Amino acid sequence: LATGLPCVLSDISSHREMAINKKCVKIVDSNNLIEIIKESKNNSNNSLQEISELSRNIVIQNFTLEIMTEKYIKSYLSLIEKR
């Protein structure tokens, strides 16, 4: 995502967290992997440019070092408070 490329990811929780925009991140299992890859290959240049911009923006808005650090701090504090 950070490089502006769409991602095809396996269906696990950490990958689902990244699937904010279904155009940029495709979650696959063994039943739809080939279909998703074919779809990705058939995108037009305009569509690829849009996906590239969306992908980059997802990272900037959700997964920068600062944002992820803040999320981890909140998670850790939440765990401490529950004890």
The DSSP element (H or E) to which 10 belongs, if any, is strand 7-10
Q: Which tokens belong to 14?
A: 């950490």
Residue 72 pLDDT more than 90?
yes
Residue 74 pLDDT more than 90?
yes
Per DSSP, the three-state class of 24 is: coil
* pLDDT tens-digit series, residues 21-46: 888 888 998 899 999 888 888 878 78
State the pLDDT at residue 82: 86
Q: Do 1 and 25 touch, CB atoms closer than 8 A?
A: yes
* pLDDT tens-digit series, residues 4-22: 888 889 999 888 888 888 8
Its pTM stands at 0.67
